[in-house]
Structure formats: structure tokens, C-alpha cells
């Protein structure tokens, strides 16, 4: 199990997906996205499932994208990767059953984009959330800008992204970035409790209501995501991004 970067399990009618790279604080790379895509296919195919809990192994949710992988992207490779990564998070959002993000630590960059793709978000009191990308010469490119604006509004979204604010769970709760805060030892129990609550409802009614909510919330999303991928690819392949990403990696090795 240690070599599996995404773990999927099922208990009763509740599924769980765990990003499993704890030694690196669960960064996202194409391997993780590929395995997450496969796990979501299992979720979609299981007609008995009523909810799924998404979390990270160890003491982090997801610390962001894998910098080593980003450094190697050309513009074309950045575009192709972004479109696939967006499609995986879209699949999570549209899979037809509610998803509960149990944010147990860092949810930065791509980690916060993953959490925003979930239906409901519970953050540990020790969680830290934010979008540090601009400080590295890149932009959120997994659907984060669109979902953040949709969730907290333009003013707060622009503040979080432009000023690279890293905030705690209580502040995130105040302006609606997360729905609930829990002590670390209670986080998964709270997430499963919410999942069980949803599992008690009519699956047909839940699926129909989620379809309606998403339709209202995401009109025009496809066009925005295509633009995000284009701009994200330009950003990640720029000389400034290569310099800043490389410096970040070098700093981490000291």
C-alpha cells in the first residue's frame, strides 16, 4: 500500500479516497491525477455508494503541485497536463454523489483546488489553506480560480490569490471557504458523520439536486477552464517561473 499514491476504500455505502504521498506532504503529480481518475471511475460505477470522503495521508491534505514536474513543462505540455488535471477535478465535482473533504493539514495550491472540487469541506484546526502560486511565477491551473470565485466571491478570491495569503481554518470558515472546523482527532469522524447523514437520503433526490446546484453554479465554467489552461501553460513555461520554481526547490534542499 505504501507505493500506491492514491488509496481507495469502501465501508458500507461510504467511500474514501486518500492521497498517499505523506513523506512529501502529498503533492500532486500526473501519477496522482491518473490514480485519482481511476478511483473516481470506481466511485461512479458503484451504485451502492452514497458519499465519499477525500483526505490526505499523514499530517497534510495536499501541499500543492509537484514542483519537480512543473519545472519540466513546455507550454504545450503545461496545457495538456492542465486540461487533464481539470478533467479529474471536474469528475470529482460531477460524479453524482456528495464528496466530503477532510482537510487535515496543508491545503495549498492544487490541494485547495482539490478541496474546492468537493461538495463539503471540513478543516482541522491545524489546517493551512491558500494559493501561493503567483510567488512561484505560476497560477492555479486545476480549476482553482473559477471555483474560488464561485465559493467566496471575487473580492476575497482576488485577495487570496494575488497576495498569496495562507490562512487558518477559523478564518477560512468566516468567509465560507470551508463549511466546518474540527479538532484534528475528530476530523475524520466528523467527515464520516456528514457522509452518513447524506447516505440516509434518497440517492435519486440527492443526485438530481446536485445536478441542479452544479448547473446553476457552473454555467460558463468550460470556457473559463480553457482560458485558465492557456494562461497556466504560458505561466509555467516562462523563464521567470523556471527561475522561481528552481529557487524554491533549492531552498527546500538546504
Q: Give the pLDDT confidence of 155-214 residue by residue, as tens digits.
A: 999 999 999 999 999 999 999 999 999 999 999 999 999 999 999 999 999 999 998 888
Question: Domain ranges in the chain?
Answer: 6-199
How far apart, in whole angstroms, are the C-alpha atoms of residue 174 and residue 193? 22
Q: What is the pLDDT of residue 2?
A: 61
CA angle 130, 39, 69 (to 5 degrees): 50
CATH architecture type of domain 6-199: Alpha-Beta Complex (3.90)
Contact 160, 148 (CB under 8 A): yes
Binned at pLDDT 50, 70 and 90, residue 226 comes out as: confident
pLDDT, one tens digit per residue, over 99-155 is: 999 999 999 999 999 999 999 999 999 999 999 999 999 999 999 999 999 999 999
pLDDT for residue 254? 58
Give CA–CA dist 236/228, Å, rounded: 12
Give the CA distances from residue 121 to residues 27, 76, 225, in Å, rounded to whole numbers and listed in that order. 19, 33, 22
Q: What is the pLDDT of residue 146?
A: 93
pLDDT on residue 235: 87
| 113 among known catalytic residues | yes
Angle at 56 between CA 51 and CA 59, to 5 degrees: 135
21 close to 57: Cβ distance less than 8 angstroms: yes
Please state at what angle helix 75-94 crosses helix 30-45, rounded to 10 degrees: 30
| Threshold 0.95, pTM exceeds | no
Whether 252 shows a pLDDT value over 80: the answer reads no
72 vs 217: which has the higher pLDDT: 72
Mean pLDDT, the chain, whole residue set:
94
- Per the residue annotation, which of 35, 113, 146, 228 is the catalytic one? 113
Cβ 2 vs Cβ 40: under 8 Å? no
Q: Which of 32, 25, 30 is nearest to 3 (CA)?
A: 32
Least Cα distance to 123 among 174, 50, 197 occurs for 174
Residues facing 6 on adjacent strands: 19
What is d(CA 102, CA 188) in angstroms, rounded to the nearest whole number? 6
Write down the catalytic residue from 93, 133, 146, 228: 133
* Residue at grid coordinates 479538532: 183
Identify whether 133 is a catalytic site residue.
Answer: yes
Amino acid at each position: 500500500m505504501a507505493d500506491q499514491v492514491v488509496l481507495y476504500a469502501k465501508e458500507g455505502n461510504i467511500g474514501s479516497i486518500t492521497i498517499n504521498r505523506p513523506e512529501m506532504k502529498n503533492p500532486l503529480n500526473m501519477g496522482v491525477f491518473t490514480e485519482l481518475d481511476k478511483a473516481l471511475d470506481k466511485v461512479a460505477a458503484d451504485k451502492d455508494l452514497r458519499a465519499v470522503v477525500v483526505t490526505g495521508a499523514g499530517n497534510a491534505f495536499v501541499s500543492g503541485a509537484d514542483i519537480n514536474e512543473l519545472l519540466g513543462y513546455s507550454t504545450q505540455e503545461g496545457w495538456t497536463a492542465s486540461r487533464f488535471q481539470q478533467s479529474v477535478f471536474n469528475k470529482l465535482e460531477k460524479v453524482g454523489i456528495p464528496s466530503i473533504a477532510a482537510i487535515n493539514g496543508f491545503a495549498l495550491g492544487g490541494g485547495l483546488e482539490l478541496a474546492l472540487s468537493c461538495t463539503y469541506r471540513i478543516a482541522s484546526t491545524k489546517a493551512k489553506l491558500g494559493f501561493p502560486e503567483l510567488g512561484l511565477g505560476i497560477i492555479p491551473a486545476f480549476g482553482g480560480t473559477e471555483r474560488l470565485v464561485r465559493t467566496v466571491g471575487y473580492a476575497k478570491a482576488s485577495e487570496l490569490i494575488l497576495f498569496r495569503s495562507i490562512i487558518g481554518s477559523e478564518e477560512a470558515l468566516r468567509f465560507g471557504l470551508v463549511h466546518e472546523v474540527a479538532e484534528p482527532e475528530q476530523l475524520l469522524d466528523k467527515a464520516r458523520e456528514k457522509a452518513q447523514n447524506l447516505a440516509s437520503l434518497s440517492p435519486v433526490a440527492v443526485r438530481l439536486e446536485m445536478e441542479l446546484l452544479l448547473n446553476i453554479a457552473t454555467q460558463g465554467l468550460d470556457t473559463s477552464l480553457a482560458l485558465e489552461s492557456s494562461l497556466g501553460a504560458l505561466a509555467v513555461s516562462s523563464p521567470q517561473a523556471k527561475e522561481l520554481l528552481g529557487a524554491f526547490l533549492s531552498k527546500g534542499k538546504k
